[in-house]
Amino acid sequence: MNSKQKVAVVTGSSSGIGHEISLILARNGFTTYATMRNMEKGSDLKSIAKDEKLPLYFMQLDVTDENSVKKAIKSVYDEVGRIDILVNNAGYGLTGAFEDLSLDEIKTQYETNVFGLIRTTQEVLPIMRKQRSGMIVNISSGAGRFGFPTGSAYVSTKFAVEGLSESMSYELEPFGIKTVIIEPGMIKTNFHNAVVVAKRSSEPSSPYAPLMAGMKDNLTKMLDNGSTAQYVAEIVLDAVKNENPKLRYLVGKDVEQLIDAKRKMSDEEFVNMMKQM
């Protein structure tokens, strides 16, 4: 099949990486369904799709709602009769020292970043298995390969995505279904502006307040050298067009350098380097 016949579903498409992935797939001939929880946030994407006459369609999908997921995937399948690519992009970041995190805050983080991905993937897999073809693209993070202070909740969700993706890749390969993990570093999007700060960590009385302030300053500096969401989308496009894609794609010089250092260093050496950073 060529790209004009292939159907892609992208979650979390209202902004940032999901917005750019939806655009680049549609611009390259993929029939693309940009899904989002709040349809009102998709006005910019809709305007571009209309102006450029793109094969880009819009669907409400809340990855935390099982009925919403089932309804959206069924609607796509009923309309076009197949799904070739699922890009699991929906997610957000929760920051805060582990001691300060409430269990509810952690559960909410996992509900979107992990269980949301599981819901959409399990809903799509029977379709792809019947086709004996397809690709699951999971947007993880460089943070799925190493931890950092104040990131325990977010980082652990990405570690979960990494393990889940790698494990299911063995199971899906015999059915012609490929699994791809995208691991961006720092990306210049509104993702970081939308980061949720744990309630207790945002209070001046928190024993971790100095750490939170330091991490915020470092994040601002690191963003200056971050990659763009368009670059992530280009890597995704390369993967979905490749007949034999890699399991993992690092995206960004920052994360490439960190993973290279992690390979070459002992755990103690890598931890010491992260402390200095």
pLDDT per position as a tens digit, 124-136 = 999 999 999 999 9
3 is catalytic: no
Identified catalytic residue from 154, 165, 178, 208: 154
Mean predicted confidence (pLDDT) in 11-27: 96
Mean of pLDDT values over 12-35: 97
Q: Categorize the per-residue pLDDT at 227 as very low, low, confident or very high, splitting at 50, 70 and 90.
A: confident
Q: Do the Cβ atoms of 181 and 166 come closer than 8 Å?
A: yes
Task: For the beta carbon of residue 225, count every other beta carbon within 10 angstroms.
Answer: 12
What pTM, to 2 d.p., does this model score? 0.94
Overall average pLDDT of the 10-22 stretch: 96
The model's confidence at residue 193, banded by pLDDT at 50, 70 and 90, is low
- Please tell me the least confidently modeled range out of 79-88, 118-127, 222-231, 249-258: 222-231
Annotation says 216 is catalytic? no
Q: What is the mean pLDDT of residues 157-181?
A: 98
The active-site residue, picked from 158, 165, 206, 208, is 158
31, 55 contact by CB (below 8 A) = yes
Q: What is the mean pLDDT of the chain?
A: 94
Report the alpha-carbon distance of residue 29 to residue 126 in Å, rounded: 24
User: Which listed residue (13, 14, 140, 227) is catalytic?
Assistant: 140
Residue 1 pLDDT > 50:
no
Any catalytic annotation for residue 57? no
Give the pLDDT confidence of 126-166 residue by residue, as tens digits. 999 999 999 999 999 999 999 999 999 999 999 999 999 99
Query: Does the pLDDT at position 191 exceed 90?
Result: no
| Extents of the domains making up the chain | 7-276
Task: Answer whether residue 38 shows pLDDT above 90.
Answer: yes
Q: Note the pLDDT of residue 189.
A: 65
What's the CATH superfamily of 7-276? NAD(P)-binding Rossmann-like Domain (3.40.50.720)
Q: Enumerate the β-bridge partners of residue 248.
A: 181
Decide: residue 210, CB within 10 A, 0-12 exposed, 13-18 middle, 19+ buried: exposed
Residue 192 confidence class, pLDDT cut points 50, 70, 90: low
Average of per-residue pLDDT across 8-30: 97
